[in-house]
Structure 1
Amino acid sequence: MLDEPSTNRNGPAAAESPLIASLRAAVAAAPQDIPLRLHLAELLLDAGHGDAAVAEAALVLSQAPGDAQARALLVRAMGGGPAAVAPVEQQADPVEQLAGFDWAAAAQEIGDAVPPRFAGQADAKEAPVAVDGSGDPGEASAYDVDAPDGPGAVRLADVGGMQEVKDRLEAAFLAPMRNPELRKLYGKSLRGGLLLYGPPGCGKTFIARAVAGELGANFINVSINDVLDMWIGNSERNMHEVFETARRQAPCVIFLDELDALGAKRSRTQHNGMRNTVNQLLTELDGVNDVNEGVFVLAATNVPWDVDIALRRPGRLDRTLLVLPPDGPAREAILRYHLRERPIESVDLGKLVKATEGFSGADLAHVCESAAESALLDSARTGTVRMINNKDLLGAAKAIRPSTEPWFAAARNVAMFANEGGTYDELLAYLKKARKL
């Protein structure tokens, strides 16, 4: 917005009156108040501030493209003064009266006078949305499909350690998918669902990507932000479109991240829209109206006990896999990865691996970051650059408390007192083995 226009179509620039200055302050405090901005534009035009009046009228049109009063005011300002066009209230048909006005030329002339749009304001002209939602400009990021041979593709061999998890994945999920002849012999459908659960930061998303790589399948990562929408019915439509995209791109893995948010227990959900979204997810998993052949659904959650029980019914996400904190070989691989580009010396990975028992992958990254920070501060303090050593790493490991401990504290109660049907037998066995009961 131009406070003091350098040129003026209606005469030399004059000092603004106190009334105009007060209105400017009021408009700055309430920029969305169209009548107030139009009143300011009228006063500016009458006072000879043509450029400033044009800028205010253009801002109104950017908010309300069909505002006849703003269009008429803009014509007056561009046409040479108030006498060029009759007052708005005397016009019988403002649209017809303005039909011959060259809006393109006017827009080019005032281009430098119009500031950027208000934050969050929608464009006056948006791409139309098709009936199936394919024209929605916001949907592209929600349904991006990663190819199996793309730059971010990984395989199970890229997952360090965790051999028990890999064996369980192979037996419960991958082997039937890799053997079409055996699958045909035993009548096994090329569809399935697997729920990964465990403490946060232990690599559930990475494992899901590795499964997609093993299957040679496309990969769609779906989070709550990709599905939930403030408008009624849009969340269900978004969920349907995710599965439709996967069906078109089959074989494809859909990864539902934070399933407890997308598929929370409906009995605890107060909002109808959220319950309808869970219902839509159930419908898509069943493939009632569409065939899910070649569509594999993986889901991850830190709190499986908060997931709607219907999602874990046979035929849906009926197989579960506990993803625990990385074991010794996995911790060594993770530590090597995070130290690979840092200056280190005399690092005993064996001692560090033992000192980080129970740490998640995120905790191990934090250990390396903290050790690097310690060496950096020491170098800055002494003026002599030194390498990251074993003392830095062991000190960081001692100072950091594993983030998995609170999760196991909560999971212990569930495994002991809410283990209906043996759902958490695997977790219970681990807790006993690790002496966490």
Structure 2
Amino acid sequence: MSNESPLIQSMRTAVAAAPADVPLRLHLAELLLGEGLGEAAVAEAAVALQHAPGDAGARALMMRAMGLPAPAADTAGTAEEPEQPAAHRPSAGFDWAAAENEVAGAVPPRFVTPATPPGPGAGAPEAPLAADGSGDPGDATAWEVDTPGTVTLADVGGMEEIKERLEAAFLAPMRNPELGRLYGKSLRGGLLMYGPPGCGKTFIARAVAGELGASFMSVSINDVLDMWMGNSERNMHEVFETARRQAPCVLFLDEVDALGAKRSRMQHGGMRNTVNQLLTELDGVGGANEGVFVLAATNVPWDVDIALRRPGRLDRTLLVLPPDAAAREAILRYHLRDRPIESVDLGKLVKVTEDLSGADLAHVCESASERALLDSTRTGVVRMINMKDLLGAAKEVRPSTDPWFASARNVAMFANEGGMYDELLAYLKRKRKL
């Protein structure tokens, strides 16, 4: 291309800006042919024919560039088809298959289509390249967005205090956009949920999406982190762009301590850049995050970068504790609903499972089922799951929340800057765990 004239270089720039403009591309091919660059002219004519397969002018130009004889001129036109200039008349008897073979290597095919329509069992066609043209088809990530679900806070058993906090601090302004606009409240927000593992933070996030009638998108570090420099930041940006396109959307950042860890403790610059990108996306410059409600969950809030807690980002917090009595009853009912049970005293079972998380309660029901199953295989007589099975399982299951409270107690007592963990301290005092 260095031997091309400035005019041709300018034309190439114009064609690159409008690749589907067939007349413009043919004009470039004419200029190339005029300067003796036949192969380049053939390549441009071939691309023009891909955009307009029936263009007679493109065919005639390709023939001239390939040194083939010009088409014979007709003596006159017909009433249905007016006479065309010689350069635009189709040639009779021209072997187009041979011509295609001749120029097959001039330009690569722009589209690849299956030779025969795929049948019911056929595989899907290959995925396109990433939007920026980089990488192979596997690099393009499709972010999964769930449609508005039917799960609402009414499906969350008990936890009335948590529901009230969510309603006052988060849901009420979102449900009343007109009132929110009156008070200058934008349709965006960020909430950080923290607490011991297995206590229902993800379920609460889905319930919030159901309350708002919003789409739900769950993202973890595995969805964002990439080994190649710059890809993690790009993935983070694409996550938020997808949520913005799906607005109203609840974007749930699971284990946000991994996505937004304290930068002061990081040794790798790439991860620091990812945290910086997360902060930028949360800011949503120019109101880009309208209708995107960011919920984040973590078991270790003390490891989250303090910049994430700045007003306008994840500026509200919610402590999600082990389920209370009403919640434990609802969880136990749910996990026993399809199992064969008899004479189960739920009230007694709720009392002996205090301090167990939702995951612990599911394990109790599973262990009780195993006891009854094993007993049935030993005796040869199928029997129901009874209270003895459930109480025996509950006695064996240790609260998985105990190690978390052991760590959280020290943080709440000695690193409670700005009263961030006052709610946790009050719970620990009430449970006499200090």
TM over 0.5: yes
* Structural mapping, 1:198-209, within 5 Å: 198-209=195-206
Check if 1:163 corresponds to 2:160: yes
1:389 aligned to 373, 386, 389, which one?
A: 386
**Amino acid of the structure 2 residue aligned with 1:128:** L
Distance across 2 between alignment mates of 1:171 and 1:290: 23
Residue number in structure 2 paired with 1:284: 281
Structure label with greater radius of gyration: 2
Correspondence for 1:351: 348
Q: For 2:140 and 2:314, locate their aligned partners in 1 and report how far apart those are by CA, in whole Å.
A: 26
**Equivalent pair of 2:130/2:139 in contact (CA under 8 Å):** no
1:421 equivalent in structure 2: 418
Give the secondary structure class of the aligned counterpart of 1:336.
Answer: helix
Alignment partner of 1:245 is 2:242 = yes
Q: Aligned partners of 2:301, 2:325: CA distance in 1, in Å?
A: 26
Q: Retained in 2: the 8 A contact 1:221–1:255?
A: yes
Question: Does the 8 Å contact 2:189/2:312 carry over to 1?
Answer: yes
TM-score by length of 2: 0.69
Match of 1:261 in 2: 258
When normalised by structure 1's length, the TM-score is 0.69
Task: Quote the Cα distance in structure 2 between the aligned partners of 1:140 and 1:130.
Answer: 10
Identity %: 81
2:410 is equivalent to residue 409 of structure 1:
no
1:178 match? 175
Aligned to 2:71: none
1:325 to 319, 322, 338: 322
Cα 1:126–1:175 shift into 2, 3 Å: closer
CA change 1:167–1:136 in 2 (3 A) is farther
* CA distances 1:332-361 after superposition (whole Å, capped 9, x unpaired): 010011111111111111110000000000
Corresponding position: 1:144 with 2:141: no
Match status 1:130 vs 2:131: yes
Secondary structure of 1:398 counterpart: helix
CA distance in 2, matches of 1:347, 1:201: 24
Residue 194 of structure 1 aligns to a residue in which SS?
A: strand
The one-letter code of the counterpart of 1:146 is D
Aligned length: 313
Please, which runs of 5 or more residues in structure 2 have no aligned partner? 1-101, 106-125
Does the CA-based 8 Å contact 2:205-2:252 persist in structure 1? yes
2:145 alignment partner AA:
V
Unaligned runs of 5+ in 1: 1-95, 100-124
Q: Secondary structure at the match of 1:196?
A: strand
- C-alpha separation in 1, matches of 2:297 and 2:410: 20
Render the CA deviation track for 1:127-167: whole Å, top value 9, x for unaligned: 322218899545545x1111114xxx411111111111000
Code of the residue aligned with 2:205 in structure 1: it is A
Q: CA deviation at 1:181?
A: 2.4
Which residue identity is paired with 2:363?
A: H
Q: Deviations over 1:84-123 (max 9, x none)?
A: xxxxxxxxxxxx9xx9xxxxxxxxxxxxxxxxxxxxxxxx
Q: Determine whether 1:435 maps to 2:429.
A: no
Q: Which residue of 2 aligns with 1:219?
A: 216
Contact kept? 2:190, 2:294, Cα under 8 Å: yes
Counterpart residue type for residue 215 of structure 2: N
Residue identity matched to 1:229 = D
Secondary structure of the corresponding residue to residue 220 of structure 1? strand
CA positional deviation for 1:385: 1.0
Match of 1:193 in 2: 190
Kindly indicate whether the alpha-carbon contact (under 8 Å) linking 2:129 and 2:139 is maintained by their aligned counterparts in 1: no
Counterparts of 1:423 and 1:311 in 2: how far apart (Å)? 14
Report the Cα distance in structure 2 between the residues aligned to 1:290 and 1:175, rounded to whole angstroms: 20
2:52 paired residue number: none
CA distance change for structure 1 residues 194 and 132 in 2, over 3 Å: closer, same or farther? Answer: farther
Residues of 1 paired with 2:266 and 2:363: CA distance? 35
CA contact (8 A) 2:198 2:358 kept: yes
Measure, in 2, the Cα distance between the counterparts of 1:379 and 1:340. 20
Q: Distance in 1 between matches of 2:133 and 2:421?
A: 40
Residue 321 of structure 2 aligns with an amino acid whose one-letter code is: L
CA contact (8 A) 2:369 2:385 kept: yes
Q: What code does the residue aligned with 2:147 have?
A: A
Other-structure match for 2:22:
none
Partners of 2:295 and 2:368 in 1: how far apart? 35
Whole-angstrom CA distance in 1 between matches of 2:328 and 2:139: 39
Structure 1 equivalent of residue 67 of structure 2: none
1:384–1:138 distance in 2 versus 1, CA, 3 Å: farther
Equivalent-residue separation in structure 2 for 1:399 and 1:259 (angstroms): 32
Partner Cα separation in structure 1 for residue 320 and residue 130 of structure 2:
41
Deviation at 1:287, TM superposition (A): 1.1
Would you say the 8 A contact 1:130–1:136 is kept in 2?
no
Post-superposition CA distance 1:32-86 (Å, at most 9, x none): xxxxxxxxxxxxxxxxxxxxxxxxxxxxxxxxxxxxxxxxxxxxxxxxxxxxxxx
